[in-house]
Structure formats: structure tokens, C-alpha cells
Amino acid sequence: MMRDAATIEPKAIVKSFYDGGARGEITSFADRLAENFELFVPPSLPWGGNFGKAQYLSILPQVAATLDFARMRYISLTAEGQHVVALIDIVVQGTDQSVIISEHWDIKEGKAVRLLVAYFDPKILLDQANPHQN
């Protein structure tokens, strides 16, 4: 029996984003984003700022060019109700170094409506994204 989108567990919805990234299909998650989706990323990053759904989808290829989703691991993936926190360790492309990111997702009616991203010590990421500023 097929479940509708509103009954899919929030954790599974979030996990599908990272699974798509690991397959090289970073925007395959688009159908799981609400039309009013909001993204909050530290402004110090090249793709930082506050964005809506279309902007989020347009910056994802830049994120995937910098972060190696195939070499990502979960430190933890927890859910409380419709809120999911993915604490991940992900390798920076072109290096063997990684950065820890805490991503806080809010799910409503089977769709992601908000993502708040926090980076822990992003120096390696910033160095890689801005090589001429070192």
C-alpha cells in the first residue's frame, strides 16, 4: 500500500535529500520542498543567506561542487515530531578534510518547509571555496 506524502516520516524525507546528494542527484529532492520553503545559511559562505525554494535549488549544485555527499556520514539523525536534526560530517571536495554541519529541518504535511544550517569550524570549507583569499 502506497503512503501519501503527508504520512511519510519526517526523518525519511530528510534522509532522501542526503541520499540524492550521495548519488550525484542533489536537486532530486525538489518535489519534497514546500512552495514556501525557507533556507537560512551563514552569510559568510559563498552560498550563504536566506533563500526561498527556487534560490535553494539553484545554489545546490554549487554546494555539491564544494561538499562531497558521497563521503558524508551521519553523526546523528534525530527527529522530534516534525523537526529533524541531521548532524553530519562531510568531506570538502578536493581534500581529505571534513566539516561538521548541523542541519535543522522542519517538515509540514510531508514537505520540507524550513532548513537552518550551522557549520562548525568551516575554515577548510572557506579556504576551498575562496582559494585566492588565503
CB 18, CB 86: distance < 8 Å? yes
Question: pLDDT above 90 covers what percent of the chain?
Answer: 69
**Interval 36-77: pLDDT, tens:** 999 999 888 888 899 999 999 999 998 999 899 999 999 999
Return left, alpha or beta for 23; rule: phi > 0 is left, psi -120 to 50 is alpha, else beta.
alpha
Q: Are strands 98-108 and 83-92 parallel, antiparallel or unpaired?
A: antiparallel
Domain segments of the chain as ranges: 5-128
Averaged over 105-132, what is the pLDDT?
81
Task: Name, in order, each residue with C-beta under 8 angstroms of 3's C-beta and a sequence gap of 6 or more.
Answer: none
Distance CA 34, CA 31 (A): 8
CATH number of 5-128: 3.10.450.50
Distance CA 19, CA 34 (A): 19
